[in-house]
Structure 1
């Protein structure tokens, strides 16, 4: 028998490019809007005229893993240096959720999809995303003139005719490459996580092993974002400077709450905040990290400033146990308790590794005139945040094994209780 294409199949093929275009544009516009509102709340509208749209484009570029390079030009008598590595994960998450949803929408209500069909859909998205990346990367470039402030440094600059400039520009080839990998990862993750998404016949065996654990991790990450959003909105409504809180929400809420997840599991990060050049972050993090040397960021150091951080392990444990129970409750009975524990442990370790990779922050800007001023007081700043990866992964494996085992055991006990309750009814009917 030969397979026949139905009118609906032909319609999907005909309108596939339109659907992919609508999804890519919708996701891109949403990312631009979130980035613009976040930068507006952070005070970026005070930048020189004409630069705000370019800063927004640079923010979206970094949100998809692209690279923005800082450069300076102050002539032969002055020097500038800088670098920026940070992902505004609020913007990243917005684009990933919308594009992932749009990618899965035409594939819903089906159990199996051929590999060529899925490859065709992914190719459409990647081709359109390539155009969007090129446009963003070419837009994300600008140069600012830096004021030398007041005092001896300013007088020396006026005497020598030094007008230092600092600029940023997206690395186009690297941005395109990493941005395409980012989108491919989003699409594959959407197929992996969504329970109703179709898979090729050869991959259906992963439906009962990989998908439940992956779905549980997405639930865990989104639960932390929702909890963080509620807390941030309460803070914005009850404290001064709500714009700073909204800047955190719109630019870096997942950065903060997923950092809190890893710290709640016992992980340690190292970091430092120096100078007026900073990134939107809660006051507690700024207090811990604003030290002369690199600081240790963990439950102990945070608790010295706010004892409420001891709730982080409790929240992490409760949410992990919840997603473990749900994962085991919907899984086939043939999967054993220890298998659930292993699946959750591996999934949690991979999730923590992802958070460690995307949560790194490295930002520095400095200026010096003939070596005077230690790069210029008020003109230098640094933000660093770096995880101790191996310790975080080991703790994630331990937490995953324990909560995965307990959650699966609870689901097994509940299943057996239901079977006992229905056993007399089944026997009487027989």
Structure 2
């Protein structure tokens, strides 16, 4: 073995320059996707030069940071607001770029030492920390809100009320959660990569956890690709391309992974009120725009749209069987089918848990003048979307067991046919 080992070349192969390139690459990519998505959603018309801070706030939200809404309308008026939403398109591209940059220096090494991996990750984390601080400080802005020509506008003119609204970030939680997000991305990247080495103490996970983790990542990405194809067809055939591209660039994984859980049978509770500007497919807006919180699942979607949404069940079954087959194919042939099922079930439940935590939405903004207008058109809005968590996890475990067992049997059949096909040539 050459003396120029992984531990002997850390500065040359994964030093500060490479760490800076990884962080800058992620920030530039996330900022570009966020900018295009916000522009398509109409945020380019926001007053007061607020577009760059809004982009920074979107990137902060994409890594789990805390974005707070605020308002000041004087003694005769009141404002309220709150926002919890993760633009997962921005999150996904950032994770892919960071993960790729983290794995690139490791791809030619069979074994990696834990200190070397920790040092390489620490370089990226140190620079990422400064990037988070910069984003948190940049993601704040205030601007004056016009009350319009209705009763609110007349009252505002009479009493000289000029409401000011804005947003800012809570820096400590943003930095903490952003670092945890980075740590999760690096760990998952190392776990699912087929070419990256694991430390000696983790080699036992090479054949147990790694195939299932790889299959879950492929499952999530496949769901996004399927949703992307559908969105592009919709943009080309049904009009409203700007709205569709806003969904693609800001919330495509939100929609894809929500659909994935609904196809498993999960139920989400939600409500949409007012002209809230969060991009979402029209059918979701129509199902959730009710006086009370409504259930979002296969039954309600099917009742609303003529029974076409049952295809989600079929697509989920195909994707899960494919993921289970990939898991079995990348595992040793001696592993029994029940063990594949036992590995697939918690892996799928973990993926569904991540979806439930990341896709939920809570957003509200309201304005009133002398008690008038809190529910007025244009000055109040609410979007609520939350999962019924335990039933979703239970369904994921059940689907994982069934498809894991079926996938193992199908992979075993492929191995047998492959072996039968190669034996005559070997004997000849």
TM-score tier after normalising by the smaller chain length: over 0.9
**Pairwise CA distance, 1:152:** 2.5
Determine the structure 2 residue equivalent to 1:407: 407
CA contact (8 A) 1:88 1:251 kept: yes
CA contact (8 A) 2:373 2:379 kept: no
In the TM superposition, what whole-angstrom CA distance separates every residue of 1:145-187 from its partner, at most 9, and x where no partner exists? 1122223222222121111111100111110000000001000
Secondary structure at the residue paired with 1:363?
strand
**What TM-score do the two structures reach when normalised by structure 2?**
0.96
Determine the structure 2 residue equivalent to 1:13: 11
**Pairwise CA distance, 1:11:** 4.7
Q: Which is further off, 371-380 or 178-187?
A: 371-380
- Indicate whether 1:229 and 2:208 are aligned: no
CA contact (8 A) 1:30 1:95 kept: yes
CA–CA separation in structure 2 for the residues paired with 1:318 and 1:58: 37
**Pairwise CA distance, 1:327:** 1.4
Determine the structure 2 residue equivalent to 1:309: 309
Secondary structure at the residue paired with 1:208?
coil
Aligned residues: 426
CA–CA separation in structure 1 for the residues paired with 2:209 and 2:141: 44
- Indicate whether 1:89 and 2:88 are aligned: yes
**Pairwise CA distance, 1:75:** 1.2
Unmatched 5+ residue regions in structure 1?
A: none
In the TM superposition, what whole-angstrom CA distance separates every residue of 1:274-293 from its partner, at most 9, and x where no partner exists? 10123100111111011111
Residues 274 and 385 of structure 1: CA distance in aligned 2, closer, same or farther (over 3 Å): same
CA contact (8 A) 1:278 1:383 kept: no
Determine the structure 2 residue equivalent to 1:287: 286
CA–CA separation in structure 2 for the residues paired with 1:325 and 1:375: 52
CA–CA separation in structure 2 for the residues paired with 1:84 and 1:43: 18
CA–CA separation in structure 2 for the residues paired with 1:338 and 1:345: 11
In the TM superposition, what whole-angstrom CA distance separates every residue of 1:260-304 from its partner, at most 9, and x where no partner exists? 000000000011111012310011111101111111100011112
- Indicate whether 1:153 and 2:152 are aligned: yes
Determine the structure 1 residue equivalent to 2:24: 25
Deviating above 4 A after TM superposition, structure 1's stretches of 4 or more consecutive aligned residues are 7-11, 420-426
Secondary structure at the residue paired with 1:91?
helix
Determine the structure 1 residue equivalent to 2:129: 130
**Pairwise CA distance, 1:370:** 1.9
Secondary structure at the residue paired with 1:383?
strand
CA–CA separation in structure 1 for the residues paired with 2:363 and 2:156: 25
CA–CA separation in structure 1 for the residues paired with 2:180 and 2:3: 32
Cα RMSD (Å): 1.6
CA–CA separation in structure 1 for the residues paired with 2:27 and 2:302: 39
CA contact (8 A) 2:275 2:377 kept: no
CA–CA separation in structure 2 for the residues paired with 1:407 and 1:110: 31
